[in-house]
Amino acid sequence: MDKITRWFGLFQCILVSYSANIRAQNWQSVDTGLSLNPRVMYSDGLELYVGTEVYNNSHNPISKWNGMEWDSIDNGCGMGPVLAITKFNGNLIAAGSCDIQYWNGSAWSLLGGGSNSAVLGMGIFEDDLIAVGWFDTIGSVAASRVARWDGQQWSAIDTTKWGVSATACAIEYQGDLYIGGNMHNTELDIDRIARWDGSQWHKVGNGIRGGIASVNCFEIYQGYLFVGGRFFAGNGNPGPNIARWNGQEWLDVGGGIYEPGGLGCDVRDMVVFEGELYAVGTCQQAGGVDALYVAKWDGEEWCGFGDVFDNTIGAITVHQGELYIGGGFRTINNDTILRVAKWVGDDFTDRCGTLSVVEEVETNSTELTIYPNPTNSATTLTWQGQSHGNYQLHLYDASGRQLTPSVIAQEAGKLEIDMSNLAQGIYFGQLFIGEAIRSFTVVKQDL
């Protein structure tokens, strides 16, 4: 027994050592030239831009990675921190406590005269640049927390007053503009998230509730709008800290992302990479599995990577087909990796699982089927148990833009959709059958 015990102990040590070695190879250092903690990361396809926390005499808060080395962009955004970076009409735009500025190739200038307070986030809506933040005025135009730039001038989106609060993120989804933050409007019953349909603001379900609740980031995945932030489950929230919206109702995301013991934490950024959703922030678990500061959702379950970071992750993006993270960490799995890392772990995951999943469909019908899939012309949806006249069909492209599908034929429990005029790619659909919802994915190939 002693010999068996010794061999078993040796095997365990080898296994632990092997697992640690695998984990250590998940992330690769991206040079060591970045000296400040990243707050935002943005790729234009050619270069990776990073906005950092603070400015001092020896460091600029905006740097770019060209694949070989870091290069600072001179006096970028004044004193920082930089909270949002994008490109619009070919110009690099940066925003944060420094207002909102553009880079003309040699110097920074205020965009349209700038704002009277911080710009915390940016997005695109109807081909205009959207700015959100603390401001009440931008470019001499009265605009409470939300404004749009058409390339020539600023204009307000409504004048709704959001009170002593801020908007932090913006995105176009299903043809409408969504904004998130910690704002609240009692008259409109809006909490932390709002939808603009082109003429007025609307609440999004019951919003995101809670005294300390906030929405930090948006991402579109599998036709859903994913919302990340700081909020607890309950009180109408499907959370914790992450939820998805299908245009009509809130849905759970596999039990959410959270801190052990119910302590507060937040999701700070999200991105879609190789067909899966990645979320980063200050939380340590997702869907019942350990997921320190980064977790992956594949549409059905959460996965963690078993990595040990010595500090949190604040930003994530995809650059030239590779996944990058940035944050306050100095080591990953006890290896020195400063502030920015690139994923090199292939498909490795340490553990996957789902704490709980809210069923979208509770009917006596059989599963929805779709064929042919992939298709180069038409595809057919079939189901049982419901009248053919009691349905709604929604179809979205990979960016979340809602399309108007052409129904070729329909009969009881059957729809044939014409996809011949759609571009090659992946499309996400939702079939509303009475009160039930069925989600599906269909791949369009070239003729």
Q: What is the mean pLDDT of residues 235-260?
A: 92
Confidence at residue 196, expressed as pLDDT on a 0 to 100 scale: 96
Is residue 212 within 8 Å of residue 239, measured between CB atoms? no
* Residue 347 confidence class, pLDDT cut points 50, 70, 90: confident
Mean pLDDT over the full length of the chain: 83
Please provide the DSSP assignment of 186-245 as one string: TTTTEEEEEEE-SS-EEE-TT---STT-EEEEEEEETTEEEEEEE--SBTTB--SSEEEE
Q: What is the mean pLDDT of residues 107-125?
A: 93
Quote the percentage of the chain above a pLDDT of 70: 82
CA atoms lying within 13 Å on the CB side of residue 299:
14
Q: Provide the greatest CA pair distance for the chain.
A: 83
* Residue 389 confidence class, pLDDT cut points 50, 70, 90: low
* Residue 73 confidence class, pLDDT cut points 50, 70, 90: confident
- Give pLDDT tens digits for 187-244: 888 999 999 999 999 999 999 988 789 999 999 999 999 999 999 888 788 889 999 9
* Residue 58 confidence class, pLDDT cut points 50, 70, 90: low
424 token code pair: 């090659």
- Give pLDDT tens digits for 265-279: 999 999 999 999 999
> 269, 239, 274, 244: which is closest to 398 by C-alpha?
274
Beta strands in 53-145 (DSSP E): 62-65, 70-72, 82-88, 91-96, 99-103, 108-110, 119-125, 128-133, 137-138, 141-142
